A and B are shown apart, each in its own frame.
Chain A
Amino acid sequence: MKKNSLLFFFLLPALLLRPLSSASQTLDSEQVQAVYTYKFGKFTTWPTLPRSDDARFHICILGDNPFSRPILSQLESNSVQNLPIHVELFPKGLAANESLSRCQILFISESEKYRLNLILETLKQQPILTISAIDEFAEQGGMIQLLNQNHKIRFKINYRALIKAGLIVSSKLLQLADVINLKE
């Protein structure tokens, strides 16, 4: 019995520290944005992916990081197309060309709203999936825009931008999304 109470003593904090939640719990928008980013990676095909033994799938975050450290760790404990995810942060919105070209996904923070043209021009048509919650992101040339509609997060896809960059997204994703620029 003593052993049991000792065990309980150590396990209790684990129970307490876990999120107290139920199925109907509302999620933080940052959490949902992070899961979307990961799922979009799963439903996209890149023309080439790094294939060395230590290759990783790079999710890059440009600007003020909206994700907490635990959410970043959740991302990094998953993989996309058998490549373990690695998150790279560019906190001041500064990124060298060399480091950008390693990104498979570039999540552009809302802090970069006024620098969007500069960012998209710098990327040109590199095969990097751009995701952001910035207003009119898709209309301005971004690929996938996250929108908050009535407390639910939906997404808008700029099809032409994807094609120009040589990226293919699954038809399932296109069905669920609000798609613009579908025709060339």
Chain B
Amino acid sequence: MTDKWLKLSLLTAICSAWAADDPMNLSIEQLMQSEVQTVTRTHQSFADTAAAVYVITQEDIQRSGVTTIPDALRLAPGVQVAQVRSGEWAISARGFSGVFANKLQVLIDGRSIYTPTFAGVRWRNYDLILDDISRIEVIRGPGSSVWGHNAVNGVINIITKNSADTQGGWVTATTGNKDQALLETRYGDQLNEQTHYRVFGKFTHRDSQVDYYQQDAEDDWTQGRGGFRLDWNPNSKDHVTFSGDGYIDTAKAGFLLPTDPPDQPQFNALQNSGAHGRVRWEHDLSLASKITTQIYYELFRQEDAYFGDERQHTADFDFQHDLALNSSHYFNWGLAYRYVSDEVLNSAMGTMRPNQLDLHLASAFIQDKVMFFDDQMELTWGSKIQYYTLSDWNWMPSARLMWKWHPEHRLWASFSKSIRSPSRGETALDLNRIRIVKAFPFYADFNPNSRLDEEHILSYELGYRGWFGSRASLDVALFYNHYDELVTGSFSEPDFLRRQITVQFANGAKADTWGIESTFDWRPMDKLRLLVSYTYFERNYENYNLGDEEHPHSDPMNQLSCRLSYDIAPTLKFDAWIRYVDSVQAHNTLYSEAQNVPSRVGLDLRLAWHALPSLELILAGQNINQSEHTEYIEETLAYPEQIERSLYGQMRWSF
């Protein structure tokens, strides 16, 4: 009997606890008296997107204590980030990571920073002021039907703040053992009611890391960057943005190179510089129809004492038309053209053949979204059709279906076809007698292959997104990818007499990858947030590089991240972040056997104190649990390095 009463009273207690909290029962007078805390979150359409999307907000970036964009990407579940050396990272999602991770498309305000010359992203050249970033949208899985080729394993959209949101002066100074000097300044003002702008400058000097023998790797780097953004709203139908920036980056050693004999590594002095300008014009034809046009021009130059000089010009034009046909039917289409001219001058190592090429990328896409069954089902389908100099004509369709079977629980599924175009390097690299083994003299010749084709990928995804009460949510995605005609090194029989092997890239491999990504976000109290994400990844290769058995597992099988944010007081904020990354193997050409990088645990801590409304003081540490550790071994010619513990102090002042 008492048993029954206990159960009943417990049940009532829980029910009333829930019911009493329903704020919908508040009266207008109570509402007017309620103290509110202002939070600006955008719970936009992502909750309604049938894709594995995660948004890193400005608040996430600040509270995590990261000082670079690559480190910020660790905040997204399922993204594999490994620092290779000071100023170099291997970043991918859903596998195929590496310094030349070529299956991830990355854009800053709609400008692609994926380099067609060597594939992948030169992350250090985009060391923006992190505070200027509004959010980073991370889409795992294919996005080719809208973003075109190379958006195979994911798309990262870095979106900067509108200049109306960066008004006034702002200075941040950071110093520490690794981030030795970071000075960021910004000033924003308005020219008139309709026009806001900001100008900014950033200077950084980041310390070198160490090699396996605890010797200084001498890869410290120094960068100066400056730029502006202007947002102009001449009337309620037109919104124009002008932006641009430029940088110079110097390093004593981009790589630590093997030599012949290999005991005395050489450094290759390196200087990168670049600049871009962009205009974006949004025009509303009506409330139901909007056109967006964007043009940008970008210059890049790299002077490398060893690998030779590279110059690149990019001009890009984008047009998009978004239409709401009725409340359950949306449609958009777009056209784009990009011209890239690159030139690689002869180097000590070899050349590109041809060493100059003009690349043309022209594309069109349509995307249609229809809702049916009382808006419970949402189907998005579309395709991109594209011409590219190195992959000719391709079409990349996708279909995505979302089922909102309950207001707070939804399921989605998708099917997509995408491609990865060969890079200039893969088709044209012509290198002679490169020493490839550390232990004894052995050399490789790399021959160009102008007939290299694109890789084809079929992707299948299944996802769930749900909310439990107003303070917890869960996101789970399952994926399976099938890769065909993967570009892989094709090796000749080794010539032991001449101690030489010939290598050429060819479309010879296949692969299957599958895995699960999950995130649990819980705010048990207003001042406490806990974020846990777990990723599992597995793959199977066929004829990839060195055959089935030998190919190393360069992507971690298990990744776990737990992040805790706690507001000790309104002016005192504490964050802790612990990450586990499974062991990986890397096949550096210097070693005849795959090298094992053990699993690692990284702990970051941050304490921020708002001493004055305009002044914030911060103490932070990254990987504080280990004095140094290896995250990745580069697959090419450079020696492996270790990443050291980083501690820094920061002062943020706005005026």
A94 in contact with B323 (CB, 8 Å): yes
Chain A 111-141 residues near chain B, CB threshold 8 A: 111, 114-119, 121-122
Query: Which of A21, A32, A117 is close to B36, meaning CB atoms less than 8 Å apart?
Result: A32
Name the B residues within 8 Å of A32 (CB-CB). 23, 31, 34, 36
A114 in contact with B236 (CB, 8 Å): yes
Name the B residues within 8 Å of A163 (CB-CB). none
In the complex formed, the residue of B with least CB distance to A76 is: B407
Query: Which of B10, B32, B36, B44 is close to A91, meaning CB atoms less than 8 Å apart?
Result: B44
Report the separation of the CA atoms of residues A173 and B44 in the bound assembly, to the nearest whole angstrom: 30
Report the separation of the CA atoms of residues A66 and B38 in the bound assembly, to the nearest whole angstrom: 11
Contact pattern, B 41-53, Cβ under 8 Å of A = 1, otherwise 0: 1111101100000
B326 in contact with A96 (CB, 8 Å): yes
Of B415-423, B434-442, B456-464, B467-475, the one with at least 4 CB within 8 A of chain A: B467-475
CB of B549 within 8 Å of the partner chain: no
B237 in contact with A115 (CB, 8 Å): yes
Total contacting residues, chain A, CB less than 8 A: 72
Name the A residues within 8 Å of B471 (CB-CB). 17, 19, 70
CB of A28 within 8 Å of the partner chain: yes
Query: Which of B27, B38, B526 is close to A29, meaning CB atoms less than 8 Å apart?
Result: B38
Name the B residues within 8 Å of A171 (CB-CB). none
Report the separation of the CA atoms of residues A99 and B148 in the bound assembly, to the nearest whole angstrom: 32
Report the separation of the CA atoms of residues A43 and B48 in the bound assembly, to the nearest whole angstrom: 31
Q: Are A122 and B236 also in contact (CB < 8 A) when A70-B469, A74-B22 are?
A: no
Question: Chain B nearest CB: distance from A147 CB in Å?
Answer: 11
CB of B493 within 8 Å of the partner chain: no
B236 in contact with A115 (CB, 8 Å): yes
A17 in contact with B34 (CB, 8 Å): no
Name the A residues within 8 Å of B7 (CB-CB). 4, 7
Name the A residues within 8 Å of B36 (CB-CB). 26-29, 32, 148, 151-153
CB of A45 within 8 Å of the partner chain: no
CB of B264 within 8 Å of the partner chain: no
Name the B residues within 8 Å of A116 (CB-CB). 236
Report the separation of the CA atoms of residues A176 and B290 in the bound assembly, to the nearest whole angstrom: 39
Question: Chain B nearest CB: distance from A95 CB in Å?
Answer: 6
Chain A 11-60 residues near chain B, CB threshold 8 A: 11, 14-21, 25-32, 35-36, 38-39, 43
Report the separation of the CA atoms of residues A91 and B47 in the bound assembly, to the nearest whole angstrom: 11
Question: Chain A nearest CB: distance from B27 CB in Å?
Answer: 8
Question: Chain B nearest CB: distance from A27 CB in Å?
Answer: 5
Question: Chain B nearest CB: distance from A30 CB in Å?
Answer: 6
Q: Are A102 and B327 also in contact (CB < 8 A) when A39-B28, A66-B43, A92-B290 are?
A: yes
Question: Chain B nearest CB: distance from A48 CB in Å?
Answer: 19
Query: Which of B10, B23, B45, B239 is close to A89, meaning CB atoms less than 8 Å apart?
Result: B45
In the complex formed, the residue of B with least CB distance to A94 is: B324
Report the separation of the CA atoms of residues A73 and B11 in the bound assembly, to the nearest whole angstrom: 23
Chain B 250-305 residues near chain A, CB threshold 8 A: 284, 286-290
In the complex formed, the residue of B with least CB distance to A36 is: B31
Report the separation of the CA atoms of residues A98 and B327 in the bound assembly, to the nearest whole angstrom: 7
Report the separation of the CA atoms of residues A92 and B49 in the bound assembly, to the nearest whole angstrom: 13
CB of A100 within 8 Å of the partner chain: yes
Of B13-21, B213-221, B628-636, the one with at least 4 CB within 8 A of chain A: B13-21
B408 in contact with A69 (CB, 8 Å): yes
Query: Which of A68, A74, A97 is close to B288, meaning CB atoms less than 8 Å apart?
Result: A97
Query: Which of B32, B48, B325 is close to A154, meaning CB atoms less than 8 Å apart?
Result: B32
Q: Is the interface of B mostly helix, strand, loop or mixed?
A: mixed
Question: Chain A nearest CB: distance from B467 CB in Å?
Answer: 5
Name the B residues within 8 Å of A29 (CB-CB). 36-39
CB of B233 within 8 Å of the partner chain: yes
Name the A residues within 8 Å of B286 (CB-CB). 118, 122
CB of B33 within 8 Å of the partner chain: yes
Instruction: Find the residue from A66, A96, A97 having the highest chain B CB count within 10 A.
Output: A96
CB of A165 within 8 Å of the partner chain: no
Report the separation of the CA atoms of residues A175 and B131 in the bound assembly, to the nearest whole angstrom: 43
Name the B residues within 8 Å of A26 (CB-CB). 34-37, 526
A17 in contact with B236 (CB, 8 Å): no
Q: Are A27 and B39 also in contact (CB < 8 A) when A11-B10, A99-B327, A154-B32 are?
A: no
Query: Which of A20, A27, A77, A114 is close to B233, meaning CB atoms less than 8 Å apart?
Result: A114
In the complex formed, the residue of B with least CB distance to A23 is: B20
Chain A 65-97 residues near chain B, CB threshold 8 A: 65-78, 88-97
Report the separation of the CA atoms of residues A36 and B3 in the bound assembly, to the nearest whole angstrom: 43
A68 in contact with B43 (CB, 8 Å): yes
Contact pattern, A 142-178, Cβ under 8 Å of B = 1, otherwise 0: 0000001001111000000000000000001100100
Across the A-B interface, give the 9 residue pairs with the lowest CB-CB distance, nearest first: A99-B327, A117-B236, A91-B45, A70-B470, A114-B233, A94-B324, A118-B236, A96-B324, A122-B287
Other 20 A-B pairs with CB < 8 A, given A32-B23, A92-B322, A114-B233: A3-B3, A11-B10, A16-B524, A27-B23, A29-B37, A65-B45, A66-B40, A69-B408, A75-B24, A91-B48, A94-B289, A96-B288, A96-B327, A98-B326, A99-B327, A100-B287, A115-B236, A115-B237, A151-B35, A152-B32
Can you list 20 A-B contacts with CB-CB less than 8 angstroms, sorted by A residue number? A4-B3, A4-B6, A11-B10, A18-B18, A27-B34, A27-B35, A28-B37, A29-B37, A31-B23, A32-B23, A43-B28, A65-B45, A73-B408, A77-B24, A88-B327, A91-B44, A96-B326, A97-B288, A99-B324, A172-B28
Interface residues of B (CB under 8 A from A): 3, 6-7, 10-11, 14, 17-18, 21-24, 26-29, 31-45, 47-48, 233, 235-237, 239, 284, 286-290, 322-327, 330, 407-408, 467-473, 524-526
Interface residues of A (CB under 8 A from B): 3-4, 7-8, 11, 14-21, 25-32, 35-36, 38-39, 43, 64-78, 88-100, 102, 111, 114-119, 121-122, 148, 151-154, 172-173, 176
